[in-house]
């Protein structure tokens, strides 16, 4: 009998029982995170059935989607004048108080984007199953865990039972050989992968990232990889725990301490795919060949190297894809064969659960030091959490951003999803470190180009899409 992959081993350890002939299992979930945007319906359904939250201590709630990110944060600036947004925030607070759920509200020093907060607090640990009402819950695979997004009805079931009906997925191993070249990032790598396999290329699968480049990568880079695994339709993405992860986790608030830590690490070291495990699919990339990436279209797989050109839909044999490319070009106001390098932008945004951690800000700050945002460009940086913000200020990174002409904001989802005041106007073109470039994602009629934080910084100071390597060499 073939060995088990890490993903299969986690599912096996959390399976309460099979669910008949359906192929599904009843899966135990260790922890979950709630936000103000996707939880109200779940609580309403829970209360309609007069049910309680079964394990409140397994739940953490945050405010992240709709809160203001104005540079000053206090009780006055956090008053939401939009009635719907204010109701979402107050409703979550009421539900947390009713059920004894811990809440990081807008003025909490630990507040931030759920997928940033969970890792920096040590809320998700190797071998766990983590679920949340947000598709980018795949992020937590970087912790050696299984994370996936769920809908509101599933959140209700999870709160009431701490279990979910779950269909086990196939296994896709992505091996990244060699090492990334200087200046290349996890964002460039994952955009390359998505362009290679397509926006539905990992549908029905959980990705395991492995290879020399992954082993050499820091945890925050791995978080970026796993975060964007869902942009290839993966149901999860995972990296086996190792010393790099243990060093990252050690001493964080929610991890075991003392002798319990030592015992936990000894157990976590055994958590990996067995040598004879069989994967349903295999994909390999050469890290040495990865170059700075930028998207041209309205799907994360519509991207090319920064020195590339917009592809011609006429060369696409699949009629559905061809129509999608044509629509994307019309929306983005681009032409086949057009070079992306030198394309003017109006906005630059660094933030989101993909690229708003301290390493991301350090990368951008290194390029920005001694430079200034180009005239006519509005540039914003929104740290992923209040902890990240405080660390950046302590290291002097915030000052570099401010001196360069960036707006230094408070933590939140911000312009990634445009549910607060941070949004683009029709026709605006943004260099963005976010995860999605869908039509109107950053505002109705707005045009988004995905790239790494350093690439965003390069675009901000030149006023156009720019190869970061040209500025890094200066």
Task: Let me know if 356 is exposed, middle or buried by CB neighbors in 10 A (0-12, 13-18, 19+).
Answer: buried
Give pLDDT, residue 145.
98
Mean pLDDT by 10 residues, the chain (474 residues): 94 97 96 95 95 97 95 84 91 97 96 98 98 97 98 96 98 98 97 98 98 98 98 98 98 97 98 97 98 98 98 96 97 98 98 98 98 98 98 98 98 95 96 98 97 98 97 75
On whether the pTM is more than 0.75, the answer is: yes
17-166: in CATH 3.30.499.10: yes
Give pLDDT, residue 76.
80
170 in Cβ contact with 283 (< 8 Å): no
Query: Does the fold of domain 339-472 match that of domain 17-166?
Result: yes
Interatomic CA distance for residues 163 and 160, integer angstroms: 8
pLDDT digits (tens, 9 = 90+) for 436-466: 999 999 999 999 999 999 999 999 999 999 9
pLDDT digits (tens, 9 = 90+) for 272-326: 999 999 999 999 999 999 999 999 999 999 999 999 999 999 999 999 999 999 9
Give pLDDT, residue 77.
77
Domain boundaries, the chain: 17-166, 170-289, 339-472
User: Among 190, 188, 220, which Cα is nearest to 202's?
Assistant: 190
Percent of the chain at pLDDT exceeding 90: 96
Sign of CA dihedral 204, 210, 211, 212: positive
Interatomic CA distance for residues 349 and 346, integer angstroms: 10
pLDDT digits (tens, 9 = 90+) for 328-372: 999 999 999 999 999 999 999 999 999 999 999 999 999 999 999
Give pLDDT, residue 473.
65
CATH topology of domain 170-289: Aconitase; Domain 2 (3.40.1060)
Name the average pLDDT for the chain: 97
CATH topology of domain 339-472: Aconitase; domain 3 (3.30.499)
Q: What is the 3-state secondary structure (H, E, C) of 224-278?
A: HHHHHHHHHCCCEEECCCCHHHHHHHCCCCCCCCHHHHHHHHHHHCCCCCCCCEC
């Amino acid at each position: 009998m073939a060995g088990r992959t890490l993903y299969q081993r986690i599912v096996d350890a959390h399976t309460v029982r099979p669910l008949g002939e359906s192929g599904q299992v009843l899966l135990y979930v260790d922890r979950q995170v709630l936000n103000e945007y996707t939880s109200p319906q779940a609580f309403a359904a829970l209360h309609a059935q007069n049910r309680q939250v079964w394990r409140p201590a397994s739940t953490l709630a945050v405010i992240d989607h709709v809160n203001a990110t104005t540079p000053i944060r206090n009780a006055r600036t956090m008053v939401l004048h939009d009635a719907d947004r204010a109701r979402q925030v107050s409703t979550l607070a009421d539900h947390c108080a009713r059920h004894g759920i811990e809440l990081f509200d807008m003025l909490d020093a630990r507040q931030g984007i759920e997928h940033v907060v969970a890792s920096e607090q040590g809320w998700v640990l190797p071998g766990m199953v983590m679920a949340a009402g947000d598709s980018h819950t795949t992020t937590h695979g970087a912790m050696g865990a299984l994370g996936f997004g769920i809908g509101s009805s599933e959140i209700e079931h999870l709160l009431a039972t701490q279990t979910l009906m779950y269909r086990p997925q196939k296994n896709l191993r992505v091996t990244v050989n060699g090492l990334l070249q200087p200046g290349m990032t996890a964002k460039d790598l994952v955009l390359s992968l998505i362009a290679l396999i397509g926006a539905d290329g990992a549908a029905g699968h959980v990705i395991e990232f492995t290879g020399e480049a992954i082993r050499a990568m820091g945890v925050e880079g791995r978080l970026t990889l796993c975060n964007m695994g869902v942009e290839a339709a993966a149901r999860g993405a995972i990296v086996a725990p190792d010393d790099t992860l243990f060093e990252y986790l050690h001493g964080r608030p929610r991890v075991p301490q003392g002798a319990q830590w030592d015992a936990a690490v000894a157990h976590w070291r055994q958590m990996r795919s067995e040598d004879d495990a069989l994967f349903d699919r295999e994909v390999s990339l050469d890290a040495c060949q990865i170059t700075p990436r930028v998207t041209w279209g309205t799907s994360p797989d519509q991207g090319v190297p920064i020195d590339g050109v917009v592809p011609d839909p006429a060369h696409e044999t699949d009629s559905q894809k061809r129509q999608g490319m044509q629509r994307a070009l019309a929306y983005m106001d681009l032409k086949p064969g057009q070079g992306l390098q030198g394309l003017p932008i109006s906005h630059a945004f660094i933030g989101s659960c993909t690229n708003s951690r301290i390493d991301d800000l350090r990368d951008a700050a290194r390029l920005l030091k001694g430079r200034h945002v180009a005239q006519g460009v509005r540039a914003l940086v929104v740290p992923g959490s209040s902890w990240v913000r405080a660390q950046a200020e302590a290291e002097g990174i915030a000052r570099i951003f401010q001196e360069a002409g960036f707006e230094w904001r408070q933590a939140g989802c911000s312009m990634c999803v445009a549910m607060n005041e941070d949004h683009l106007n029709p026709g605006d073109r943004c260099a963005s470190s976010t995860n999605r470039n869908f039509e109107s994602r950053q505002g109705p009629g707005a045009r988004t180009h995905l790239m790494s934080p350093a690439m965003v910084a390069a675009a901000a100071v030149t006023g156009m899409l720019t190869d970061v390597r040209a500025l890094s060499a200066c």
